[in-house]
């Protein structure tokens, strides 16, 4: 039953990809940013679908299983403030600059803003490197969900592989329009099935109130964050959502907006969407302690699927598990599309390979690149055994390290090429260094102080950017006029 | 219309900073760190953070009116 439903769902996704192809105009701008013509509802749903991923469903419930309801404060409520501010103060100006200058990727913007091909290349390499663990979260979660739902009949590598194949199928046929449509469909489905899952599981065992009372008797430590989450950790976690400012797939989604006003719904309603997705995930994670008291850290990521199997009737369980599968796929497609976009624009076209390659050959090269990256993510998914939540935090730390760069590019005229390159290099070295230090210790904090590595990486990248910019020659005013309004703010 | 919106953006700039700083401060609910009692059936800290998300949405709506609307009023955006 579960495989029939998931099969039907996957066919529907491929159908949406093919249907959206009928509206295609055959241009790169149409394929990668839907001709910058999407409306507010599609933008909101696709941004939520893209940003609320396996991390928010399986990762959040698994982490709440271990650390209690404080996980909501750790990521959800900080994202509810930071991410809409990023949409407003970074997404909106980038959308405007993208429209004025025809940018399709972040690298194009930064390369021109700082007049530096070297910065473009460095950024390209780092963004691809950072996207691999992000893809890994979705790929690993898909395998985990299907393996758990099938009682181990379908090995996790097969489930992960199936997901990779379907995502590649509809992204490569439908482009951004297809991906945005699929994201809307996925977001509506996973929100509806998420509500149903929450209702079914919390109604079991005497109802929500009875389960909460039982929890407060059996595990009161899970009902507060004190003791489970040190204050420095709570404070430094608030920097993790800064990563949204540099996600290549969010950048691409911003460019799809028809008008500036299109952003309004995303800015205003994003905090409510975060709460709607994270509240059930966190509560179900802590309820999981009552039914499965002794899961190991890696197993905790599948607590939601285990709860569905325990409490829902087989037919309903099949629907709900399909809903979880929908959720874990929701952002992988945008990431894959962003990768293809970056490869085509930032390597093939920028280095003029397109002069020597036909349009079809460029497309083939782009598809081959995406497929190779997906294969790497698929291979790693069987090898890396970290929890989904920890993998997400690890990956977001690297993206957050690039936050000072985007702020300086938009708001600080005095920032220089050398400052930008030094800042990106600092973020990369910091990210890799902390990964090396914390690889064997999933709960690693800086010197055991409770401070997350993200705080050090962001501050170091900002300090280096400021210091190096101040000691190097300021950019030409004529060059800056392309990016700044006469009053000083971004155009 | 455009000029009126821009002037509103300039006038409220400082207050926007204050609102965001307050939101950041209020996120760290140290006074509920050890609270394990239930309020309206939910753990007190979780209910607080749910309310926090609602307040964040209202503040974002106000920020959009102060900054986003004036920013969106640029004539070239509508081209």
* Helix (H) or strand (E) segment spanning residue A394: helix A388-400
Section B38-45 average pLDDT:
90
Record: contact A264-B76, CB cut-off 8 A: no
Q: For the whole model, what pTM was predicted?
A: 0.86
For residue B79, the distance in angstroms to the closest alpha carbon of chain A comes to 9
Q: Nearest residue on chain A to B72, judged by CA atoms?
A: A260
Residue B79: pLDDT over 50? no
Record: contact B34-A231, CB cut-off 8 A: no
Any B CB within 8 A of A275 CB? yes
What is the CB neighbour count within 10 angstroms for residue B2? 12
pLDDT of residue A83: 93
Residue from A110, A115, A373, A99 nearest A257 by CA: A99
For residue A486, the distance in angstroms to the closest alpha carbon of chain B comes to 14
Q: A271-309: b or e for each residue (b if 16 or more CB lie within 10 Å)?
A: bbbbbbbbbbbbbbbbbbbebbeebebbbbbbbbbbbbb
With beta carbons under 8 A apart, name residues in chain A contacting B68: 88, 92, 260, 263-264, 267
Q: Three-state SS for A27?
A: coil
As a dihedral over the C-alpha atoms of residue A17, residue A56, residue A393, residue A10, rounded to 10 degrees, the angle is -30
Q: How far apart are CA A421 and CA A481, in angstroms?
A: 21
Task: Give CA B10 to chain center in angstroms.
Answer: 17
pLDDT of residue A80: 93
Q: How far apart are CA B47 and CA B31, in angstroms?
A: 14
Q: Which of A81, A92, A235 sits opposite B56 (nearest CB)?
A: A81
**Residues in contact with A166: Cβ distance below 8 Å, sequence separation at least 6, in sequence order:** A10, A13, A14, A329
Residues 36-55 of B with CB under 8 A from A: 36-38, 41-46, 49-50, 52-54
pLDDT by residue, tens only, chain A of 491 residues: 667 777 777 777 777 766 766 666 555 566 666 666 666 777 777 677 766 677 777 788 888 999 999 999 988 999 999 999 999 999 999 998 988 888 889 999 999 999 999 999 999 999 999 988 888 888 888 888 788 777 778 888 888 888 888 878 777 766 666 666 777 777 777 777 778 888 888 887 778 888 888 888 888 889 988 878 888 888 898 899 999 999 998 888 888 888 888 888 889 999 998 898 889 889 989 999 988 888 887 788 888 888 888 887 777 777 777 777 777 776 787 788 888 888 888 888 877 665 666 767 777 777 788 888 888 888 888 777 777 777 888 889 999 999 999 999 999 999 999 999 999 999 999 999 988 887 777 778 888 888 899 999 999 999 999 999 999 999 988 888 888 876 556 66
Q: Which of B28, B53, B59 sits opposite A274 (nearest CB)?
A: B53
**Residues in contact with A230: Cβ distance below 8 Å, sequence separation at least 6, in sequence order:** A445, A450
Any B CB within 8 A of A287 CB? no
Q: Three-state SS for A490?
A: strand
User: ipTM for the complex?
Assistant: 0.86
With beta carbons under 8 A apart, name residues in chain A contacting B67: 88-89
Any B CB within 8 A of A203 CB? no
pLDDT of residue A346: 87
Q: How far apart are CA A273 and CA A110, in angstroms?
A: 31
Is there a contact between A268 and A113 (Cβ–Cβ < 8 Å)?
no
Q: How far apart are CA A96 and CA B77, in angstroms?
A: 7
pLDDT of residue B22: 93
With beta carbons under 8 A apart, name residues in chain A contacting B35: 224
With beta carbons under 8 A apart, name residues in chain B contacting A85: 20, 60, 63
pLDDT of residue A37: 64
Return the residue in A73, A96, A234, A482 with the most chain B beta carbons within 10 A, the one to mutate for interface testing.
A73
> Which stretches of A115-261 are assigned E, i.e. beta strand?
none
With beta carbons under 8 A apart, name residues in chain B contacting A216: 36-38, 43
Give the HSE-up count for residue A391: Cα atoms under 13 Å, Cβ half-sphere: 30
């Amino acid at each position: 039953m579960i495989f029939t439903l998931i099969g039907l769902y996957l066919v529907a996704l491929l159908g949406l990809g093919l249907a959206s192809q009928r509206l295609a105009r055959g241009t790169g701008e149409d394929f990668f940013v839907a001709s910058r013509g999407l409306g507010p509802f599609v933008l909101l749903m696709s941004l939520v679908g893209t940003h609320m991923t396996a991390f928010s469903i399986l990762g959040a419930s698994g982490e709440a299983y271990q650390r209690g309801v404080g996980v909501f404060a750790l990521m959800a409520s900080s994202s509810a403030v930071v991410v809409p501010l990023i949409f407003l103060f970074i997404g909106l100006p980038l959308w405007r600059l993208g429209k004025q200058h025809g940018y399709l990727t972040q690298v194009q913007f930064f390369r021109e803003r700082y007049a530096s091909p070297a910065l473009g290349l460095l950024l390209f390499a780092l963004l691809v490197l950072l996207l691999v663990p992000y893809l890994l979260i979705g790929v690993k979660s898909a395998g985990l969900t299907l393996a758990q739902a099938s009682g181990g009949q379908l090995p996790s590598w097969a489930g992960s592989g199936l997901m990779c194949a379907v995502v590649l199928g509809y992204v490569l046929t439908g482009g951004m329009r297809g991906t945005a449509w699929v994201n809307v469909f996925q977001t509506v489905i996973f929100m509806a099935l998420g509500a149903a899952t929450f209702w079914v599981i919390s109604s079991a065992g005497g109802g929500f109130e009875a389960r909460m009372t039982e929890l407060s008797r059996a595990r009161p430590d899970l009902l507060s964050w004190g003791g489970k989450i040190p204050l420095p950790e709570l404070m430094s976690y608030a920097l993790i959502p800064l990563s949204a400012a540099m996600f290549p797939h969010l950048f691409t989604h911003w460019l799809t907006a028809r008008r500036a006003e299109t952003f309004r719904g995303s800015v205003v309603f994003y905090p409510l969407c975060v709460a709607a997705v994270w509240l059930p995930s966190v509560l179900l994670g802590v309820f999981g302690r009552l039914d499965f008291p002794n899961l190991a850290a890696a197993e905790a990521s599948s607590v939601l699927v285990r709860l569905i199997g325990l409490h829902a009737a087989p037919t309903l369980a099949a629907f709900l598990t399909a809903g979880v599968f929908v959720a874990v796929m929701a952002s992988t497609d945008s990431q894959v599309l962003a990768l293809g976009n970056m490869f085509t624009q930032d390597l093939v076209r920028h280095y003029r390979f397109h002069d020597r390659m036909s349009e079809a050959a460029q497309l083939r090269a782009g598809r081959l690149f995406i497929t190779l990256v997906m294969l790497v993510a698929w291979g790693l998914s069987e090898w890396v055994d970290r929890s989904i939540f920890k993998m997400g935090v690890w990956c977001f730390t690297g993206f957050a390290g690039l936050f000072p760069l985007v702020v300086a590019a938009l708001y600080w005229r005095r920032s220089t090429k050398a400052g930008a390159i030094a800042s990106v290099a600092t973020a990369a070295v910091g990210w890799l260094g902390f990964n090396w230090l914390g690889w064997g210790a999933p709960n690693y904090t800086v010197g055991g102080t409770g401070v997350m590595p993200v705080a050090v990486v962001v501050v170091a990248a900002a300090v280096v950017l400021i210091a190096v910019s101040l000691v190097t020659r300021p950019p030409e005013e004529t060059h800056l006029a392309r990016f700044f309004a006469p009053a000083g703010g971004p155009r | 219309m455009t000029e009126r919106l821009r002037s509103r953006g300039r006038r409220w700039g400082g207050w926007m900073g204050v609102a965001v700083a307050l939101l950041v401060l209020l996120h760290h609910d140290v006074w509920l760190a050890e609270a394990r009692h239930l309020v309206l059936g939910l753990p007190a800290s979780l209910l607080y953070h749910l309310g926090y998300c609602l307040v964040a949405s209202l503040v974002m709506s106000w920020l959009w009116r102060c900054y986003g609307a004036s920013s969106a009023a640029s004539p070239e955006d509508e081209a």
